[in-house]
Structure 1
Amino acid sequence: MTLEPILTVADLNRFLDTDFSEVHTDGKVFEVIATGPGFATMRFDPNEKHLRPGGTVSGPALFALADVTAYIALLAHIGPVALAVTTNLNINFLRKPRLGALECTCSILKLGKRLAVLDAAIVEQGGKEIVAHATATYSIPPR
Protein backbone atom coordinates (compact mmCIF):
# COMPACT_ATOMS: atom_id res chain seq x y z
CA MET A 1 0.00 0.00 0.00
CA THR A 2 1.47 3.35 -1.06
CA LEU A 3 0.87 6.41 1.09
CA GLU A 4 -0.39 9.31 -1.01
CA PRO A 5 -0.27 12.87 0.33
CA ILE A 6 -3.62 14.60 0.81
CA LEU A 7 -2.16 18.09 1.28
CA THR A 8 -0.19 19.99 -1.37
CA VAL A 9 3.01 21.96 -0.89
CA ALA A 10 0.91 25.17 -0.94
CA ASP A 11 -1.48 23.72 1.69
CA LEU A 12 1.44 22.82 3.94
CA ASN A 13 3.17 26.19 3.65
CA ARG A 14 -0.16 27.90 4.37
CA PHE A 15 -0.57 25.69 7.46
CA LEU A 16 2.88 26.76 8.70
CA ASP A 17 1.98 30.42 8.13
CA THR A 18 -1.43 30.30 9.81
CA ASP A 19 -1.47 27.46 12.36
CA PHE A 20 2.22 27.14 13.27
CA SER A 21 3.54 30.65 12.71
CA GLU A 22 5.93 30.19 15.68
CA VAL A 23 8.17 28.31 13.27
CA HIS A 24 8.91 31.71 11.65
CA THR A 25 10.20 33.33 14.88
CA ASP A 26 13.69 33.77 13.36
CA GLY A 27 12.26 34.91 10.01
CA LYS A 28 10.78 32.77 7.27
CA VAL A 29 13.58 30.21 7.16
CA PHE A 30 11.49 27.03 6.67
CA GLU A 31 9.69 26.22 3.43
CA VAL A 32 8.01 23.04 2.23
CA ILE A 33 9.38 22.36 -1.26
CA ALA A 34 8.06 18.88 -2.14
CA THR A 35 5.71 16.15 -1.08
CA GLY A 36 4.94 12.79 -2.58
CA PRO A 37 4.05 9.21 -1.71
CA GLY A 38 5.22 8.74 1.89
CA PHE A 39 7.55 11.76 2.09
CA ALA A 40 7.98 15.52 2.32
CA THR A 41 10.99 17.77 1.77
CA MET A 42 11.68 21.13 3.37
CA ARG A 43 14.26 23.82 2.72
CA PHE A 44 15.92 25.62 5.62
CA ASP A 45 17.76 28.91 5.05
CA PRO A 46 19.80 29.38 8.23
CA ASN A 47 21.04 32.80 9.23
CA GLU A 48 23.61 33.96 11.79
CA LYS A 49 21.20 33.09 14.63
CA HIS A 50 21.51 29.43 13.62
CA LEU A 51 25.31 29.23 13.80
CA ARG A 52 27.56 27.85 16.49
CA PRO A 53 31.15 28.90 17.08
CA GLY A 54 33.24 27.85 14.11
CA GLY A 55 30.68 29.00 11.55
CA THR A 56 28.70 25.79 11.22
CA VAL A 57 24.93 25.38 11.51
CA SER A 58 24.11 24.48 15.12
CA GLY A 59 22.78 21.17 16.36
CA PRO A 60 19.56 22.72 17.69
CA ALA A 61 18.88 24.24 14.25
CA LEU A 62 19.38 20.85 12.56
CA PHE A 63 17.17 19.21 15.20
CA ALA A 64 14.43 21.76 14.51
CA LEU A 65 14.67 21.12 10.76
CA ALA A 66 14.31 17.36 11.25
CA ASP A 67 11.39 17.81 13.67
CA VAL A 68 9.47 20.31 11.53
CA THR A 69 10.00 18.20 8.40
CA ALA A 70 8.74 15.06 10.18
CA TYR A 71 5.66 17.01 11.32
CA ILE A 72 5.03 18.26 7.77
CA ALA A 73 5.54 14.80 6.23
CA LEU A 74 2.98 13.40 8.66
CA LEU A 75 0.45 16.21 8.09
CA ALA A 76 0.85 15.87 4.32
CA HIS A 77 -0.56 12.35 4.68
CA ILE A 78 -3.13 12.68 7.51
CA GLY A 79 -4.31 16.26 7.02
CA PRO A 80 -3.98 19.36 9.20
CA VAL A 81 -3.97 17.68 12.62
CA ALA A 82 -2.34 20.49 14.59
CA LEU A 83 -2.15 18.46 17.82
CA ALA A 84 0.01 15.65 16.43
CA VAL A 85 3.12 15.83 18.62
CA THR A 86 6.67 14.53 18.74
CA THR A 87 7.06 11.76 21.30
CA ASN A 88 10.67 10.94 20.39
CA LEU A 89 13.35 12.27 18.08
CA ASN A 90 16.85 10.85 17.83
CA ILE A 91 19.44 12.64 15.71
CA ASN A 92 22.96 11.82 14.59
CA PHE A 93 25.21 14.64 13.39
CA LEU A 94 27.42 13.20 10.66
CA ARG A 95 29.19 16.17 9.02
CA LYS A 96 29.59 19.89 9.67
CA PRO A 97 27.17 21.78 7.41
CA ARG A 98 28.37 25.12 6.11
CA LEU A 99 26.19 28.20 6.39
CA GLY A 100 23.84 27.87 3.45
CA ALA A 101 20.57 26.31 2.45
CA LEU A 102 19.85 22.83 3.75
CA GLU A 103 17.21 20.34 2.65
CA CYS A 104 15.57 17.69 4.78
CA THR A 105 13.61 14.82 3.28
CA CYS A 106 11.50 12.87 5.70
CA SER A 107 9.93 9.51 4.86
CA ILE A 108 7.16 7.77 6.72
CA LEU A 109 8.31 4.32 7.84
CA LYS A 110 5.07 3.39 9.61
CA LEU A 111 1.75 5.19 9.87
CA GLY A 112 -0.65 3.76 12.42
CA LYS A 113 -3.82 5.09 14.02
CA ARG A 114 -2.00 6.55 17.06
CA LEU A 115 1.71 6.61 16.17
CA ALA A 116 3.86 7.36 13.15
CA VAL A 117 7.56 6.59 12.75
CA LEU A 118 9.57 8.71 10.33
CA ASP A 119 13.12 8.86 8.96
CA ALA A 120 14.81 12.19 8.12
CA ALA A 121 17.96 12.95 6.13
CA ILE A 122 19.47 16.44 6.00
CA VAL A 123 21.82 17.47 3.18
CA GLU A 124 23.35 20.73 2.01
CA GLN A 125 21.24 22.03 -0.87
CA GLY A 126 22.43 20.36 -4.05
CA GLY A 127 24.58 17.93 -2.06
CA LYS A 128 24.34 14.20 -1.67
CA GLU A 129 26.21 13.58 1.59
CA ILE A 130 23.95 13.43 4.64
CA VAL A 131 24.98 15.95 7.30
CA ALA A 132 22.46 14.70 9.88
CA HIS A 133 20.10 11.73 10.15
CA ALA A 134 17.11 11.50 12.49
CA THR A 135 14.29 9.17 13.37
CA ALA A 136 11.11 10.54 14.88
CA THR A 137 7.97 9.14 16.46
CA TYR A 138 4.81 11.22 16.45
CA SER A 139 1.66 10.73 18.49
CA ILE A 140 -1.54 11.22 16.50
CA PRO A 141 -4.55 12.36 18.56
CA PRO A 142 -7.87 10.55 18.15
CA ARG A 143 -10.12 12.11 15.52
Structure 2
Amino acid sequence: MSSTEALTLPSPDEINEMARESFPGSPNTCLELGEDYAVAEMIVTPDMIRPGGFVSGPGQFGLADAALWYLVFAAIGRVEPMALTSELSIRFLRPAVGDRMRARAALEARSRRSVVGSVRVWAGDLEHRPTAVAQGTYALPLEMASG
Protein backbone atom coordinates (compact mmCIF):
# COMPACT_ATOMS: atom_id res chain seq x y z
CA MET A 1 0.00 0.00 0.00
CA SER A 2 1.40 3.40 -0.91
CA SER A 3 1.53 6.20 1.62
CA THR A 4 -1.13 8.10 -0.35
CA GLU A 5 -3.74 5.34 -0.10
CA ALA A 6 -6.25 5.76 2.72
CA LEU A 7 -6.63 2.85 5.10
CA THR A 8 -10.06 1.40 5.69
CA LEU A 9 -10.67 1.36 9.42
CA PRO A 10 -12.35 -1.69 10.91
CA SER A 11 -15.37 -0.88 13.06
CA PRO A 12 -15.40 -1.37 16.83
CA ASP A 13 -18.10 -4.02 16.25
CA GLU A 14 -15.76 -6.00 13.95
CA ILE A 15 -12.97 -5.78 16.49
CA ASN A 16 -15.20 -6.79 19.40
CA GLU A 17 -16.61 -9.77 17.49
CA MET A 18 -13.11 -11.07 16.73
CA ALA A 19 -11.96 -10.43 20.31
CA ARG A 20 -14.98 -12.30 21.75
CA GLU A 21 -14.17 -15.30 19.53
CA SER A 22 -10.43 -15.20 20.28
CA PHE A 23 -10.62 -14.28 23.98
CA PRO A 24 -13.98 -15.35 25.43
CA GLY A 25 -14.54 -13.78 28.81
CA SER A 26 -12.25 -10.80 28.23
CA PRO A 27 -13.55 -7.74 30.09
CA ASN A 28 -12.20 -5.36 27.41
CA THR A 29 -14.06 -3.87 24.45
CA CYS A 30 -13.21 -1.38 21.72
CA LEU A 31 -15.40 1.73 22.00
CA GLU A 32 -13.91 3.94 19.31
CA LEU A 33 -11.30 3.77 16.56
CA GLY A 34 -9.73 6.61 14.58
CA GLU A 35 -6.84 6.84 12.15
CA ASP A 36 -4.31 7.32 14.95
CA TYR A 37 -6.10 6.34 18.15
CA ALA A 38 -8.25 3.71 19.84
CA VAL A 39 -10.44 3.88 22.95
CA ALA A 40 -11.03 0.74 25.01
CA GLU A 41 -13.26 0.06 28.00
CA MET A 42 -13.05 -2.51 30.77
CA ILE A 43 -15.97 -3.37 33.03
CA VAL A 44 -14.47 -3.89 36.48
CA THR A 45 -15.39 -7.22 38.06
CA PRO A 46 -15.12 -8.11 41.78
CA ASP A 47 -11.98 -10.21 41.21
CA MET A 48 -10.17 -7.08 39.95
CA ILE A 49 -10.68 -5.17 43.20
CA ARG A 50 -7.80 -4.96 45.66
CA PRO A 51 -7.86 -3.95 49.34
CA GLY A 52 -9.12 -0.39 49.69
CA GLY A 53 -11.49 -0.85 46.75
CA PHE A 54 -8.84 -0.10 44.13
CA VAL A 55 -8.79 -1.59 40.63
CA SER A 56 -5.80 -3.92 40.34
CA GLY A 57 -2.65 -3.05 38.42
CA PRO A 58 -2.89 -6.19 36.28
CA GLY A 59 -6.42 -5.18 35.22
CA GLN A 60 -5.24 -1.71 34.18
CA PHE A 61 -2.22 -3.23 32.41
CA GLY A 62 -4.52 -5.57 30.46
CA LEU A 63 -6.73 -2.66 29.44
CA ALA A 64 -3.71 -0.66 28.22
CA ASP A 65 -2.54 -3.69 26.24
CA ALA A 66 -6.00 -4.13 24.68
CA ALA A 67 -6.15 -0.45 23.68
CA LEU A 68 -2.77 -0.80 21.94
CA TRP A 69 -3.93 -3.96 20.17
CA TYR A 70 -7.00 -2.11 18.86
CA LEU A 71 -4.73 0.76 17.78
CA VAL A 72 -2.74 -1.68 15.64
CA PHE A 73 -5.89 -2.43 13.64
CA ALA A 74 -6.30 1.29 12.87
CA ALA A 75 -2.62 1.61 11.94
CA ILE A 76 -2.72 -1.31 9.48
CA GLY A 77 -6.31 -0.88 8.30
CA ARG A 78 -7.62 -4.31 9.23
CA VAL A 79 -8.22 -6.67 12.15
CA GLU A 80 -5.09 -8.80 12.67
CA PRO A 81 -5.34 -11.21 15.61
CA MET A 82 -1.67 -12.25 15.25
CA ALA A 83 -0.29 -8.79 16.02
CA LEU A 84 1.57 -9.50 19.28
CA THR A 85 2.77 -7.44 22.21
CA SER A 86 6.52 -6.95 21.86
CA GLU A 87 6.92 -4.79 24.95
CA LEU A 88 4.72 -2.74 27.25
CA SER A 89 5.63 -0.62 30.25
CA ILE A 90 3.21 1.12 32.57
CA ARG A 91 3.47 3.74 35.28
CA PHE A 92 0.70 3.91 37.87
CA LEU A 93 -0.07 7.50 38.86
CA ARG A 94 -2.89 7.21 41.39
CA PRO A 95 -5.37 4.64 42.72
CA ALA A 96 -8.17 3.68 40.34
CA VAL A 97 -11.68 3.41 41.75
CA GLY A 98 -14.85 2.68 39.82
CA ASP A 99 -16.93 0.10 38.01
CA ARG A 100 -15.41 0.78 34.59
CA MET A 101 -12.05 1.89 33.27
CA ARG A 102 -11.14 3.41 29.92
CA ALA A 103 -7.92 3.74 27.98
CA ARG A 104 -6.96 5.81 24.95
CA ALA A 105 -4.05 4.61 22.84
CA ALA A 106 -2.35 7.10 20.51
CA LEU A 107 -0.14 6.15 17.58
CA GLU A 108 3.48 7.23 17.99
CA ALA A 109 5.15 5.33 15.11
CA ARG A 110 4.50 2.60 12.58
CA SER A 111 7.03 0.63 10.56
CA ARG A 112 6.80 -2.47 8.38
CA ARG A 113 7.40 -4.65 11.45
CA SER A 114 5.85 -2.80 14.38
CA VAL A 115 3.42 -0.26 15.80
CA VAL A 116 4.37 1.93 18.79
CA GLY A 117 1.79 3.71 20.90
CA SER A 118 1.20 5.57 24.15
CA VAL A 119 -1.79 4.93 26.41
CA ARG A 120 -3.64 6.91 29.09
CA VAL A 121 -5.83 4.90 31.50
CA TRP A 122 -8.55 6.45 33.65
CA ALA A 123 -11.53 5.52 35.82
CA GLY A 124 -15.12 6.29 34.80
CA ASP A 125 -15.44 9.63 33.01
CA LEU A 126 -12.32 11.17 34.58
CA GLU A 127 -10.17 11.25 31.43
CA HIS A 128 -8.43 14.38 32.74
CA ARG A 129 -7.19 12.36 35.79
CA PRO A 130 -5.28 9.37 34.44
CA THR A 131 -4.62 6.50 36.82
CA ALA A 132 -1.81 5.12 34.65
CA VAL A 133 0.20 5.87 31.52
CA ALA A 134 1.81 3.24 29.34
CA GLN A 135 3.89 2.89 26.21
CA GLY A 136 4.30 -0.22 24.14
CA THR A 137 5.19 -1.86 20.87
CA TYR A 138 3.27 -4.44 18.89
CA ALA A 139 5.06 -6.73 16.46
CA LEU A 140 3.29 -7.29 13.15
CA PRO A 141 3.10 -10.78 11.63
CA LEU A 142 6.05 -11.68 9.40
CA GLU A 143 3.87 -12.12 6.30
CA MET A 144 2.86 -8.45 6.65
CA ALA A 145 6.44 -7.31 7.07
CA SER A 146 7.65 -9.19 4.00
CA GLY A 147 4.71 -8.11 1.80
Q: What's the TM-score once normalised by structure 1's chain length?
A: 0.88
Structure 2 unaligned regions, length at least 5: none
Partner of 1:114: 113
How far apart in 2 are the matches of 1:4 and 1:102? 29
Gaps of 5+ in 1: none
**Correspondence for 1:102:** 101
**Which is further off, 75-84 or 49-58?**
75-84
2:122 is paired with a residue whose SS is strand
Partner residue of 2:12?
Answer: 9
Cα–Cα, structure 1 residues 77 and 43, in superposed 2: closer, same or farther, change >3 Å? same
Report if the CA contact (8 A) 2:107-2:116 is conserved: yes
Q: 1:111 to 1:5 in 2, by over 3 A?
A: farther
Matches within 5 A, 1:79-94: 79-94=78-93
Contact 1:7 1:77 in 2 (8 A): no
Q: Deviating runs (4+, > 4 A) in structure 1?
A: 1-5
Larger Rg: 2
TM-score, normalization by structure 2: 0.86
Q: CA RMSD in A?
A: 1.8
- Residue among 58, 63, 66 paired with 1:65: 63
Give the whole-Å Cα distance in 1 for the aligned partners of 2:8 and 2:95. Answer: 32
Q: CA deviation at 1:4?
A: 5.2
Question: Out of 16, 31, 35, which is 1:33 matched to?
Answer: 31
